[in-house]
Structure 1
Amino acid sequence: MSLKYVIKEGTAGFKRAKLAVTTSIFSLFIAVLLLGILGRVSYNVYTQAMSLKEIQIEVFLFDMDERSVEEVRNQIEGEELVTNVVYISKDSASVIAAKELGAGVTELIELNFLPASFKVEVNTDSGSELVESLASRIQNIRGVDEVEYNRALLKALESNLSIFSLIGSGLGILILLAAVVLVYNTIRLTIYAKKDLIRAMKLVGATNGFIRSPFIVEGIIQGLIAGTLAVLSVFAIFEFLVPIYIPDVGIVAWPFGRWYFLVGAMVGLSVLMGWWGSRLASRKYIAETYISG
């Protein structure tokens, strides 16, 4: 099979069905652009939510000697979810409370009535059920008086993130399907316009794979063009338009801190959709063209 022939015929479809090809590229462009915007915004929403989800458990202790405190600390540090443990003595607790409450309460330092405690930092990927189980285990440690953490905030964040993820995933799938259907229809129209040629090629022994190749190349090229345009648009939107017209939003970071992750995903996805749509259409309608002839 001649590569030159495949590329030539693959690009010829752009001239034969200009309106259909333009519509397909524009649809792919819009789909990938929306997915790119959704991906970048979603990443920033997720990172902001995770920064709020700094899980810290306060473990208040009964009065005990230093050896007992160290034993409690070792048991807490032995938990898999725990990332850091900070001890706050009774004296330190009074000083912290006095600073937080402001002037006029310095007598709290002298009263020294606040209990010693541990501030326990937990892996932020931990779910509310795991954190609740951890808090329960810590509560059962000998010498622990009370365990406190913000259960309500943690559960609310998890619930909102789940809803956001479901909505985002649903929108993404709908956009992908719509784009693939449009590529599929474009290739189908191109095949229909060349149906007489396809019949003639089959009569002289051309295989389905040979006939399909130019149409698949056409779909890939459509995807490449649409993906490139979508990437340029995402750059323009977040680097120029958003800072000018919505300055309060601030800098919308690239996923994982690097531009090429999202750019590669957008172009790759666009090419994949173009290939998939053209492959489905060519497999179905080239066979039907021969049967109907």
Structure 2
Amino acid sequence: MSLKYIVREGFTGIKRAKLAATTSIFSLFIAVLLLGILSRVGFNIYSQAMSIKDMIELEVFLFDVDERTTDQIRLQLQNEDLVEEITYISKDSASAVMKREFGSGAEELAELNFLPASFRLKVNTDAGADQVGNMASRLSNIRGVDEVEYNEALLRMMESNLNTFAILGGGLGILILLAALILVYNTIRLTIYAKRDLIRAMKLVGATNKFIRSPFIVEGLIQGMIAGSLAILSVFLIFEFAIPFYLADLGTLEWPFGRWYFLVGAMLLLSLMMGWWGSRWAARRFIKETYISSD
């Protein structure tokens, strides 16, 4: 099988059905661009949510217990899988914090030393609201613990919003990909229809289905490469120039995982896969089942 022939025929197929190929490339471009934008914005929303979630702490207030009981409580807290960091705040430290936060007007109250000692817990950011709530219930039953407090409403609201965003974003992404895939499929189908007589002639002289399909698959890959490259360029222009210029207060959004090549590689790979999948789907079906078998 001549690689040069396959590649040449792949480009020829695009030239032969220019309008259909342009529509397919544009659809793939829009699909990959939207998914790239959605991914970058979604990553930043998730990062901000995790930063806020990291600030949510559990405050475990203690009764007036001795040092031995305090150490036992600390040990039980350390055995909790969700707890990542423990800070002990003594009664004197709590009074000092009260003075610092409320100013001179709270000095007399602080001197009464009525504030209880407590443990401040930093919880794993991957923990769900239900997990944190169950842990808070367990901790409140420890002997020597008065009560456990944390911002449950904020935690549940953030989790609900993130879940909603993930569902809507995932559903939108699937619809976009499906639409692009169908357009690639239809483009290759039109190209196969235009070459139906040549394909029948090739079959008569012994050409295999694999040999006949290869140029169409290359055509889909070329469409994917063009669409992916345009989408990547657009993402750079939008996030590195347009947003900082027109929405300066928003600033520059971070690249997923801190590096540009993760998103760029994913976008290009996705575009190539969509082009390959759509063209392979059409080529296998219409070469084998329709045009080759019919008179």
Measure the CA separation in 1 of the matches of 2:27 and 2:207: 32
Q: Give 1:143's aligned amino acid.
A: G
2:59 equivalent to 1:58: yes
Measure the CA separation in 1 of the matches of 2:73 and 2:50: 29
Measure the CA separation in 2 of the matches of 1:159 and 1:197: 57
Q: Which residue of 2 aligns with 1:203?
A: 204
Alignment of 1:107-256 (within 5 A): 107-256=108-257
Shift of 1:108: 2.1
Measure the CA separation in 1 of the matches of 2:180 and 2:18: 17
Q: Which residue of 1 aligns with 2:89?
A: 88
Q: Give 2:293's aligned amino acid.
A: I
Give the secondary structure class of the aligned counterpart of 2:105: coil
Over the matched positions of the two proteins, sequence identity in percent amounts to 68
Give the secondary structure class of the aligned counterpart of 1:253: coil
Shift of 1:136: 1.3
Give the secondary structure class of the aligned counterpart of 1:80: coil
Give the secondary structure class of the aligned counterpart of 2:268: helix
Alignment of 1:63-74 (within 5 A): 63-74=64-75
Cα deviation, 1:124-168, whole Å, max 9, x if unaligned, reads: 100111111111111111110111111111111111100000000
Q: Give 1:142's aligned amino acid.
A: R
Q: Which residue of 1 aligns with 2:292?
A: 290
Q: Which residue of 2 aligns with 1:75?
A: 76
Give the secondary structure class of the aligned counterpart of 2:64: coil
Q: CA RMSD in A?
A: 0.9
Q: Which residue of 2 aligns with 1:6?
A: 6
Q: Give 1:71's aligned amino acid.
A: Q
Size of the aligned set, in residue pairs, is 293
Give the secondary structure class of the aligned counterpart of 2:60: strand
Higher mean alpha-carbon deviation, 102-111 vs 55-64, is at: 102-111
Q: Give 1:5's aligned amino acid.
A: Y
Measure the CA separation in 1 of the matches of 2:46 and 2:224: 29
Shift of 1:266: 0.1
2:36 equivalent to 1:36: yes
Q: Give 1:258's aligned amino acid.
A: R
Measure the CA separation in 2 of the matches of 1:209 and 1:104: 85
Q: Give 1:147's aligned amino acid.
A: V
Shift of 1:15: 1.4
Q: Give 1:286's aligned amino acid.
A: I
Give the secondary structure class of the aligned counterpart of 1:118: strand
Q: Give 1:201's aligned amino acid.
A: M
Measure the CA separation in 2 of the matches of 1:109 and 1:246: 46
Measure the CA separation in 2 of the matches of 1:221 and 1:15: 12
Shift of 1:44: 0.2
What are the ranges of 5 or more consecutive residues in structure 1 without an aligned counterpart? none
Measure the CA separation in 2 of the matches of 1:162 and 1:89: 38
Measure the CA separation in 2 of the matches of 1:124 and 1:41: 20
Cα deviation, 1:49-79, whole Å, max 9, x if unaligned, reads: 1111123110000111212111111110111
Measure the CA separation in 1 of the matches of 2:102 and 2:84: 29
Q: Which residue of 1 aligns with 2:102?
A: 101
Q: Give 1:25's aligned amino acid.
A: I
Shift of 1:182: 0.6
